[in-house]
Structure 1
Amino acid sequence: MTFEDNIGTKCIINGEILPAEMLNKYSDEKYTACYEVIRIIDGIPLFYDDHFTRLKSSVQKIQNELEISNKDLRNQITKICEVNNLVNCNVKVLVLLYEKEQITLLHINKFYYPSQKEYDSGVKCCTIKLSRSNPNIKMINISYKAEIKRVTAENGAFEVLLVDDNNKITEGGKSNVFFVKGEKIYTSPEEYVLKGITRQYIIDVCVKLGYEVIETLISVDQISNFDAAFITGTSINAMPIKIIDQYTLNSSENIVTQKVMKGYNSLVAAYIEGNSNKK
């Protein structure tokens, strides 16, 4: 395990504030690592309780109960931002597991928030034959991460879309993917993907807007049949796709995509406002 995505000067290990270099002490491959990346907006961890629930579930599937409490982790997230002098960033929470040992680490995670130009024009994606070993558990997988990074760079892509042995698109390397046809929105069934927290809130927004959400796998050769596509994630919210391999989509100008993006952004703004007194 490496900590190359850390950009902070301080970290927190089992509740203790330490120099970030101390993270390297836990690079031993003996550890299994469950993790969450939480976006911090104006000092508030976005959808914190959802992240905590998913982290707890991931740990339970591998070992037993998560030892750190909801309240303690929330306080540590506030502290890691304070000691690194940041109010808008991404915090990575890792729980390292080895036999009966549990170690909780927090650091400031490298982040990129897309520009308005990227939202206005859409981004390029490419496909790759690859799948997560267990998509429902958010675990560190070094070889998976390296392959995603390599393919993204080689293709000059913003994101890669994972394709299974049947040529079906399951999810993005670091995101979930949705396709739009008329007023119907398609996305992969839960059992094939990491159940993204942004993904679930996007589905909620789609339903409230009156759009039918259909959970099914889409083949690569079906892409041209759709009006638009977008990816969702912690740092990107809902991002229109302009290109998938050789296919071009006018996603950023699609009215359904625009309404979903606006609806989700309004949901985030309301969450931040409603939790501003909890900082």
Structure 2
Amino acid sequence: MEDEPHGVHDFVYDPRNANVLISVNGELKHRDEATVSVFDSGYLLGDGVWEGLRVKNGGVAFLDEHLKRLYAGAKTIDMDIGLSKEDLTQRLFDCLKAQDMNDGVHIRLMVTRGIKKTPYQGPRFTITKPTIVIIPEYKAPVPEVIEKGLSLFTVHIRRTGPAEQDQKLNSHSKLNCILACIQADKAGADEGLMLDADGFVATCNSTHFFIVRDGEVWTSPPDYCLGGITRGNIIRVCEEAGITVREKRFSLFDVYSADEAFVTGTFAGVTPVREVDGRTIEHVGGPMAKRITGLYQDLVARSLTPIK
């Protein structure tokens, strides 16, 4: 019997998570008691924006970049978060300090438009301030997943462009990614590889995708993918280290014959890919991926905003 798929977001079980406190509009509640209204915009419509953040060695990685993306997303959907970046940062820190959570933590920071007086999409039916939820959990990637590498399956669900729903918007509405994830699961793969409207490689359903060819690192242009914080920082460390990195369109032809492939994301950083659509990638966790992983980890260490 074949192994069950293990995606890049699988994590090592940690019993401490059973009693974490969740911040719901500034109030700390045990995870079993942390709830939002059934009339909340996020529940009714997926109307909101969110960020995933990492805590390491007493600080939050790339905090300014994440908050910049969060507030840009909120402005895009014409939503006033109701807190300044400084006040939201302090609320985040207060949640962490109350539980002495300072290392090995992953945070989901979510902001929805708030509670509605009736189930309808119009923002004018919202009767409260935005709902702000902060979920911190102790999470570490499964080592075996990193060592073995991921299997990807190219799904038929396409990434939309700005004319449909701009992928730069990190919204709660992720149904296209969920459908891609389901198709990959059904195919026995760990993650879905998604194409753009013209059939070029765009990104994965929950991570960004890179290939290595002839000593160069390639990733898709940002037109059909989220403006990933980790993606941008991988490009940055490559440029700083003199590694040729290209944001360019490429097809599955280039993927199947790549020397290396890997995905990136806030949770696991850099994760190798071992196969795509049954085609074996030549070097899994090869020299380029290892070098970039080291460069990225150094950058993370320099990026930390101390919890205070």
TM-score (structure 1 length as normaliser): 0.86
Aligned pair in 2 of structure 1 residues 158, 102: CA closer, same or farther (>3 Å)?
A: farther
Counterpart of 1:14 in structure 2 is 25
Q: Tell me, in whole angstroms, the C-alpha distance in 2 between the residues paired with 1:234 and 1:254.
A: 21
Give the 3-state SS of the residue equivalent to 2:284 in structure 1: helix
Letter in structure 1 aligned against 2:51 = E
Counterpart of 1:255 in structure 2 is 287
Give the 3-state SS of the residue equivalent to 2:169 in structure 1: coil
Q: How does 1:130-279 map to 2 (within 5 A)?
A: 130=157, 131-132=159-160, 133-272=165-304, 275-276=305-306, 278-279=307-308
How far did residue 171 of structure 1 move?
Answer: 0.7
Please provide the CA RMSD for this pair: 2.5
Q: Tell me, in whole angstroms, the C-alpha distance in 1 between the residues paired with 2:70 and 2:18.
A: 22
Q: Tell me, in whole angstroms, the C-alpha distance in 1 between the residues paired with 2:271 and 2:46.
A: 34
Alignment partner of 2:56 out of 22, 41, 44: 41
How far did residue 50 of structure 1 move?
Answer: 0.4
Q: Tell me, in whole angstroms, the C-alpha distance in 1 between the residues paired with 2:137 and 2:186.
A: 21
Counterpart of 2:90 in structure 1 is 75
Indicate conservation of the 8 Å contact 1:77/1:106, yes or no: no
How far did residue 178 of structure 1 move?
Answer: 0.8
How far did residue 15 of structure 1 move?
Answer: 2.2
Letter in structure 2 aligned against 1:93 = L
Gaps of 5+ in 1: 1-5
Does residue 1:125 correspond to 2:147, yes or no? Answer: no
Gaps of 5+ in 2: 1-16, 114-122
- Count of residues paired in the alignment: 271
Counterpart of 1:107 in structure 2 is 134
Q: Tell me, in whole angstroms, the C-alpha distance in 2 between the residues paired with 1:223 and 1:258.
A: 19
The percentage of counterpart residues that share the same residue type is: 23
Which 4+ stretches in 1 moved above 6 angstroms? none
Letter in structure 2 aligned against 1:197 = I
Q: Tell me, in whole angstroms, the C-alpha distance in 2 between the residues paired with 1:112 and 1:217.
A: 34
Structure with higher strand content: 1
Indicate conservation of the 8 Å contact 2:82/2:130, yes or no: no
Q: Tell me, in whole angstroms, the C-alpha distance in 2 between the residues paired with 1:223 and 1:28.
A: 38
Q: Tell me, in whole angstroms, the C-alpha distance in 2 between the residues paired with 1:112 and 1:150.
A: 23
- Name the stretch that deviates more: 200-209 or 123-132: 123-132
TM-score (structure 2 length as normaliser): 0.78
Indicate conservation of the 8 Å contact 2:208/2:264, yes or no: yes
How far did residue 33 of structure 1 move?
Answer: 1.1
Counterpart of 2:112 in structure 1 is 96
Q: Tell me, in whole angstroms, the C-alpha distance in 2 between the residues paired with 1:41 and 1:92.
A: 15
Higher RCO (CA 8 Å, separation ≥ 6 residues): 2
